[in-house]
């Protein structure tokens, strides 16, 4: 996938079609948005719950629990696929579409608003946070740069990011009954300490209380990554051992490597991560003027790499492969459209 364009039968057309793929990108974006919207309309009772939230009878956190609990995994046909498309493909293709339409301000605003609403529809702060950071990076690298007066634009972009996170916390209902000072203290504690606290117990639990997983936990993480519902992963088991209740532990790939193979697993994960980061960085240096490669690099920096510090390595690896596959399919679609257009021109010239 990393070298798909070079290995493909249409490699010789690469320079011609390099940036003339707006139609293919547009078709892909509309398809992804449509699939994501289906999840909103097909989720039983979702729209009614949103209205109840604004009336104060229910919180966003309760809506999230109802949607993501294991009993709602099959609330409508194809929910896993819709969830996968929304959280794994929408952020990336949205960046590409924005960059392709950077001169159309109204279109850009509509795309950002729609993408943010969809990514926050299940009241998960992570996807919205990473997407907003990617927008800030895209804005800075393509608009602000290091020009005179750019400092205020940096502050403007970061202020929007902080405001969105505060609003998300409020709608989740986690600020109820807290003073203004305690609200910010809880938010900072969640971001700096609590996010990684539970995962540190992995080094105490294995192998004294639980045997090494021997790679089984990586298979356990596949269903939760695809469906977005954590119903039987190692993170769920660790959280229950430590806190005695349901929840998900956030631990790094190093902790997971230790839980599976001990110290050897820690060393192995270090090698794998080094290879991944080197590949991403190497790809970034070669992206030149290719829009999709720029967005892939930004997406990896703002979404994939941070997620490596917050959970299993399975999700980020699959995410990278899926994005590379999507880029390949967009290029195939673009080649097909280019071939059709060329043949029509040829037929028209022959007819005349």
Over the stretch 327-343, which tens digit does the pLDDT of each residue have?
Answer: 999 988 988 888 888 88
Tell me which residue of 170, 257, 276, 156 sits closest to 214, measured CA to CA.
Answer: 257
Q: Over 50: is that where the pLDDT of 4 sits?
A: no
Mention every residue, 6+ apart, whose C-beta is less than 8 A from residue 294: 99, 141, 287
Task: Quick: pLDDT tens for 138-180.
Answer: 877 776 544 545 555 556 666 666 676 666 666 655 555 566 6
DSSP letter assigned to residue 262: T
CA distance 26 to 348: 26
List the single range of 70-74, 242-246, 316-320 with lowest mean pLDDT. 70-74
Number of H helices and E strands in the chain, helices first, is: 20, 0
Residue bearing the bigger pLDDT, 150 or 110? 110
Mean pLDDT, to the nearest integer, of 206-227? 81
Q: Over 60: is that where the pLDDT of 242 sits?
A: yes
SS3 content of the chain, % helix, strand, coil (to 5): 75, 0, 25
Nearest-5° angle of CA 156, CA 123, CA 220?
120
Q: Over 80: is that where the pLDDT of 318 sits?
A: yes
Cis preceding linkage at 207, omega within 30: yes
CA distance 190 to 3: 40
Q: Which residues of 60-85 are buried (b: 16+ CB within 10 A; e: fewer)?
A: bbbbbebbbeeeeeebeeebeebbbb
pLDDT at 11: 44
pLDDT at 10: 41
CA distance 71 to 127: 22
Tokens of 285: 């240096």
Tell me the pLDDT of the chain averaged across its residues: 77
pLDDT at 126: 78
Q: Over 90: is that where the pLDDT of 90 sits?
A: yes
Are 73 and 79 within 8 A, CB to CB?
yes
- How many beta carbons lie within 10 A of that of residue 203, not counting itself? 14
pLDDT at 181: 72
State what percent of residues in the chain have pLDDT above 90: 14
HSE, CB side, 13 Å, CA atoms: give it for residue 159.
6
CA distance 24 to 337: 8
Whose tokens are 């240096």? That residue is 285
């Amino acid at each position: 996938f990393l070298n798909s364009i070079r290995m493909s039968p249409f490699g010789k057309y690469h320079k011609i079609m390099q940036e003339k793929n707006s139609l293919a990108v547009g078709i892909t974006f509309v398809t992804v948005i449509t699939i994501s919207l289906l999840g909103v309309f097909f989720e039983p009772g979702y729209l009614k719950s949103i209205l109840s939230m604004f009336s104060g009878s229910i919180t966003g956190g309760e809506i999230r629990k109802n949607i993501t609990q294991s009993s709602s995994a099959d609330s409508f046909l194809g929910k896993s696929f819709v969830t996968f498309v929304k959280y794994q493909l929408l952020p990336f293709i949205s960046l590409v579409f924005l960059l392709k339409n950077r001169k159309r301000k109204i279109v850009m605003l509509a795309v950002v608003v729609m993408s943010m609403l969809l990514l926050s529809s299940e009241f998960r702060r992570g996807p919205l946070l990473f997407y907003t950071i990617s927008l800030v990076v895209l804005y800075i690298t393509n608009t602000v740069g290091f020009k005179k007066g750019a400092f205020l634009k940096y502050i403007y972009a970061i202020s929007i990011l902080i405001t969105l996170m505060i609003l998300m916390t409020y709608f989740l209902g986690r600020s109820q009954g807290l003073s203004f000072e305690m609200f910010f203290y809880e938010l900072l504690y969640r971001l700096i300490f609590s996010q990684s606290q539970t995962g540190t117990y992995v080094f105490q639990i294995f192998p004294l209380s639980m045997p090494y997983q021997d790679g089984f936990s990586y298979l356990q993480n596949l269903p939760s990554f695809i469906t977005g519902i954590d119903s039987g992963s190692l993170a769920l088991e660790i959280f229950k051992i430590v806190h005695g209740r349901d929840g998900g532990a956030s631990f790094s790939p190093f902790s997971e490597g230790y839980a599976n193979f001990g110290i050897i697993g820690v060393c192995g994960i270090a090698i794998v991560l080094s290879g991944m980061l080197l590949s991403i960085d190497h790809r970034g240096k070669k992206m030149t003027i290719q829009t999709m490669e720029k967005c892939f690099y930004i997406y990896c920096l703002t979404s994939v790499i941070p997620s490596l510090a917050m959970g299993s390595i399975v999700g980020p690896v699959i995410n990278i492969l899926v994005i590379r596959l999507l880029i390949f399919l967009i290029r195939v679609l673009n080649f097909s459209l280019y071939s059709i257009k060329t043949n029509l021109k040829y037929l028209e010239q022959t007819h005349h």
